[in-house]
Amino acid sequence: MNVSQIVQLLQSAVVFGTVIMFGAMGEILTEKSGNLNLGVPGIMYLGGFAGLAASFFYEFGNPDPNPVVCLIISFVAAFLAAALGGLIYSFLTITLRANQNVTGLTLTIFGGGLANFFGGSLNTMAGGVGQISVAVSSATYRTTIPGLASLTIDDFPIGSLLFGYGFMVFLAIITAVAMHFFLNRTRAGLNLRSVGENPATADAAGINVTRYKYLATCVGAGISGMGGLYYTMDYIKGTWANDGTIEALGWLAVALVIFATWRPLNAIWGSYLFGLLYWMYLYIPGLNRSTMELFKMLPYVVTIIVLITTSLRKKREDQPPAALGIPYFREER
């Protein structure tokens, strides 16, 4: 492996990691409130599709689309659509007391269905031909910081390694740091964690459990949806693919939550590590097509190992929120 190959591998790891980092961070926020939302893949689908559709309708028939407007409407649409998915989940599990796992899985079926249904036929329905494409929006998402991205030191492309990405890569890191601060340093974050650990005690302390669960789940879904947006706009450059990749990435995001032991800061390096593990097979010599497939198993195997070791070591700070997946009904205390 030479230097340029290593840089290329690291870059694809960062790009790949960013998709699942958004998904995982949204799910961390959701799980901190005690809701185990298995609808992450569906939510990422919703976000990715809504962002794409919003800029498509703006760009379609508009000869000179404004990049900033493209950015804002797709961003807002993606967040809202994903949060709406979270709202469906919240309403069913919190207000109507439906089972969390079943509701989450249904949301995955529904979100994936809706996004693939419209994503595949949006262009045909609007009277166009071939694949949907939003060139201007995608280019805006992929704009790098001028100057910094082409920086080199002794021919080592340090600039492109550190800065050669669209803004959402940095937004993901900022979100992770902000979420770490929110969860560990603010009163609202403390309240949220107490809801996820022991809702009955939180309720007795005067915390509005329902409101915290609703807000955390909807905002969390919105953040997860950003993963889908980054995927459609940057990763596959403003088109749509019905190949189910978002679903696989969504489950990987759920895995990352465990890997990061529910800490946003761990999700940063964890996601890049997953990206490395995922792409590594391209750079390992002597692999044939079948053994390559075994290598792609790595992120999941590593997650299983982390899951087992955390349950073996029983370190208190590494455990999932104590009330994760357990519904809270005040009158059943």
Residues that bind another protein (CB under 8 A): 36, 38, 88, 92, 95-99, 101-103, 105-114, 116-117, 120-121, 124-125, 242, 248, 251, 254-255, 258, 288-294, 296-297, 300-301, 303-304, 307-308, 311-312, 320, 325, 331
Closest CB 36 distance from another protein, rounded Å: 7
Q: Which lies closer to another protein via its Cβ, residue 265 or residue 302?
A: 302
- For residues 123 and 160, which CB has a smaller minimum distance to another protein in the complex? 123
Give the span between the Cα atoms of 285 and 271, in whole angstroms: 24
Shortest CB 86 distance to another protein, Å: 14
Report the nearest approach of another protein to the CB of residue 147 (Å).
Answer: 41
Tokens of 184: 């560990």
Q: Which is nearer to another protein, 97 or 315 (CB)?
A: 97
| Cα radius of gyration (the chain) | 20
Least distance (Å) between residue 184 CB and another protein: 23
Return d(Cα 241, Cα 131) in angstroms, integer: 9
The b-or-e profile of 261-284 (16+ CB within 10 A means b, else e) is bbbbebbbebbbbbbbbbbbbeee
CB of 303 to another protein, least distance (A): 5
Helices 187-197 and 3-32, interaxial angle, to 10°? 70
Instruction: Return the number of the residue (17 or 299) whose C-beta is nearest another protein.
Output: 299
| DSSP state for residue 288 in the 8-state scheme | -
DSSP 175-223: HHHHHHHHHHHSHHHHHHHHHHH-HHHHHHTT--HHHHHHHHHHHHHHH
N-to-C CA span, the chain: 60
For residues 11 and 224, which CB has a smaller minimum distance to another protein in the complex? Answer: 224
User: Which residues share a beta bridge with 156?
Assistant: 153
DSSP-derived 3-state class of residue 24:
helix
Residue placing its CB nearer to another protein in the complex, 106 or 194: 106
Q: How far is the CB of 27 from another protein (least distance, A)?
A: 11
